[in-house]
Structure 1
Amino acid sequence: MRYRVRHITEYKYVTPVSLCYNVAHLLPRDTLTQRCLKSSIQVHPEPISQQERTDYFGNKSFYFSVQDAHKKLVIDVVSELKIATNIVLPNLNQGPTCKEYLDLLAVSKSPDFLESREFLLDSPMIRASASLADYAREVFQDDEPLLLALRKFTTKIFTEFKFDPNVTTVATPLDQVLKLKGGVCQDFAHLAIGCLRSLGFPTRYMSGYLETLPPPGKEKLIGADASHAWFSVFLPDLGWVEFDPTNDVMPTTQHLVTAWGRDYSDVTPLQGVIFDGGEGQTLSVSVDVQRLAALN
């Protein structure tokens, strides 16, 4: 299965920006089930310098600086990806129980297990806490298969929280998200990660895109898709297994990965520093995910 993703980010400023430095995580990475066939990134005004690098987590990072005075900055990224169609979800009753997993994690010298343990640590936007552990503890009973518990926990968040882009911001702390019982995909991914780390399970933040399909008989709106966030947990023999609490699913072919890290701050689509620009700015984002077969 092949996809084309176009992600356009546009900033408008009150007064001209004289200089800006930026880093973008907008170029999809390769995974076991995904291959980025090609990608391009166009910036206007034209950068005086630009460079693609690989960050600590293996993500593609694009650095650029613009020195021409500008009141509008546009970053236009087009990527084509190939997604495996033979993805088989694991049997939820297989693998270790919650207690068996934690016991194994404590003593295993496996390189993969040792590497996964860094995703137990607090990160800039996620800190373990008793309240987060308490929210999830009833799901993760000692004798429950961990995979099954993770799937139930995904459903718990989906059922008990309301998707509402008006109740949180990118900086809303997790204790507030827990009280508000609402937010967006980033909040739900952060909440799940915080709860799981608080219980001792290594969990990482996944960033990318989700193909959305129009209602039957309706045209798909160009630019109506969006960036998306979910989480993954490391399991022996299976690797990193993904869960999407916003949609109560285990991702397969419709989740396209851009980057992963400890939390959103590691994989922010675009961040940087500007000089001048006035006291306000407006941001608009357009994302379009298309199956290439549908274009033929």
Structure 2
Amino acid sequence: MRYRVRHITTYTYGAPVSLCYNMAHLLPRDTHNQRCLNQRVQINPPPVYRNEGEDYFGNQTFYFSIQEAHKKLVIDVLSDFEIFPIDLTMWQQNNTTTCGQLRANLKMPMTPQMRMAKEFLMDSSQIRRSEELKAYAQSTFSDDKPLIKAALEFTHKIFTEFKFDPSTTTVATPLEQVLKQRSGVCQDFAHLAIGCLRSVGIPARYISGYLETLPPPGQEKLVGADASHAWFSIFVPELGWVEFDPTNDVMPNDQHIVTAWGRDYADVTPLQGVIFEGGGSQQLAVSVDVKRLL
């Protein structure tokens, strides 16, 4: 399956900004089943400096600096890529690693992959382990339960017990509040799942990207109506990192497009930076289009 993603980010400032430095996570990365074909980044006003690279997690990044006064900043990213479907049924049926076996292996990791996975057991800037989160997940991840089966059950648990409601949370809402109010958005559900998993000794990481959405039958898809998406993955020794989407109660396959992954949202913020001499109030507008090419 081939896709084209266009992501336009527009900042409008109340007062002219004289200088800005920025780093963006907006370029989809290559994965075991995703390959980037080509990409284009247009920035207005044109930057005096720009450079692409990789961060600690291997995500594609680009840096840029604008040194002329501007009241509007537009970052227009166009990416084409190909996704190859995975036989998820085979994974579910053939993998018998239990939660208890994984926890035991993590105590004495014998492979580089296992040692690297332990990093995703620790607290991060937006996710803290807690007894409350542990209590919510503990029965699902019992020692004798197969790991993928438990993760599927937990994904379904969040999907059925939580309501998607953008008005109830912000990027700073604590996980305990999300758990209490049983509502939020995809970022909250991914963070909640990761916090619970780490609290019961299962390595989990945050994934940002896009999801192909389709309009109702008989209706045309609106331009710019798509949005960024978030989900999580867990480490399974024989398979590597396996993904789960609690917002939609699925294992991502060929309709989920990975941009970046890290410990939590703070590691993969789409755009971050600093501005000088101006800014004042600012307005952010984001337009995302995910188009299937083949």
Q: Residues 11-33 of structure 1, C-alpha deviation per residue, up to 9 Å, x if partnerless?
A: 00111111111100001110010
Matched residue SS, 2:92: coil
- Alignment match, 1:122: 123
- Alignment match, 1:224: 225
Distance across 2 between alignment mates of 1:142 and 1:88: 23
Spell out the pairing of 1:62-101 with structure 2 (5 A cutoff): 62-89=62-89, 90-91=91-92, 94-101=95-102
Distance across 2 between alignment mates of 1:92 and 1:221: 39
Matched residue SS, 1:279: strand
Number of positions where the alignment pairs a residue of Structure 1 with one of Structure 2: 293
Spell out the pairing of 1:234-253 with structure 2 (5 A cutoff): 234-253=235-254
Matched residue SS, 1:91: helix
Matched residue SS, 1:101: helix
Matched residue SS, 1:230: strand
Identical-residue share of aligned pairs (%): 65
1:208 Cα deviation from its structure 2 partner: 0.5
Spell out the pairing of 1:153-232 with structure 2 (5 A cutoff): 153-232=154-233
Matched residue SS, 1:103: helix
Distance across 1 between alignment mates of 2:241 and 2:86: 17
The more displaced of 268-277 and 32-41 is 268-277
Distance across 2 between alignment mates of 1:50 and 1:91: 44
1:173 Cα deviation from its structure 2 partner: 1.4
Tell me, yes or no, if structure 1 residue 25 matches structure 2 residue 55: no
Q: Using structure 2 for the length normalisation, give the TM-score.
A: 0.97
- Alignment match, 2:271: 270
1:104 Cα deviation from its structure 2 partner: 1.7
The more displaced of 93-102 and 256-265 is 93-102
1:87 Cα deviation from its structure 2 partner: 4.1
Matched residue SS, 2:123: coil
1:275 Cα deviation from its structure 2 partner: 1.5
Distance across 2 between alignment mates of 1:98 and 1:260: 23
Distance across 2 between alignment mates of 1:198 and 1:67: 45
Q: Which 5+ residue runs of structure 2 have no aligned equivalent?
A: none
1:86 Cα deviation from its structure 2 partner: 4.8
Whichever residue aligns with residue 220 of structure 1, its letter is K
Indicate if the aligned counterparts of 1:117 and 1:202 stay in contact, CA closer than 8 A: yes
The more displaced of 74-83 and 95-104 is 95-104
- Alignment match, 2:11: 11
Q: Residues 122-172 of structure 1, C-alpha deviation per residue, up to 9 Å, x if partnerless?
A: 111111111110111121122111110100000011111111111111111
Indicate if the aligned counterparts of 2:14 and 2:281 stay in contact, CA closer than 8 A: yes
1:263 Cα deviation from its structure 2 partner: 0.4
Distance across 2 between alignment mates of 1:240 and 1:166: 32
1:93 Cα deviation from its structure 2 partner: 6.7
Q: Using structure 1 for the length normalisation, give the TM-score.
A: 0.96
Whichever residue aligns with residue 109 of structure 2, its letter is S
The more displaced of 167-176 and 263-272 is 167-176
Distance across 2 between alignment mates of 1:39 and 1:183: 32
Q: What root-mean-square deviation, in Å, do the aligned CA atoms of Structure 1 and Structure 2 show?
A: 1.1
Distance across 2 between alignment mates of 1:131 and 1:88: 31
1:220 Cα deviation from its structure 2 partner: 1.0
1:107 Cα deviation from its structure 2 partner: 1.8
1:276 Cα deviation from its structure 2 partner: 3.3
Indicate if the aligned counterparts of 2:212 and 2:255 stay in contact, CA closer than 8 A: yes
- Alignment match, 2:58: 58
Q: Residues 186-243 of structure 1, C-alpha deviation per residue, up to 9 Å, x if partnerless?
A: 1100000000001111100001000001111111111111100000001011110000
Distance across 1 between alignment mates of 2:64 and 2:54: 14
Distance across 1 between alignment mates of 2:267 and 2:22: 14
Q: Residues 232-265 of structure 1, C-alpha deviation per residue, up to 9 Å, x if partnerless?
A: 0010111100000010000000000000000000
Whichever residue aligns with residue 161 of structure 2, its letter is E
Whichever residue aligns with residue 2 of structure 1, its letter is R
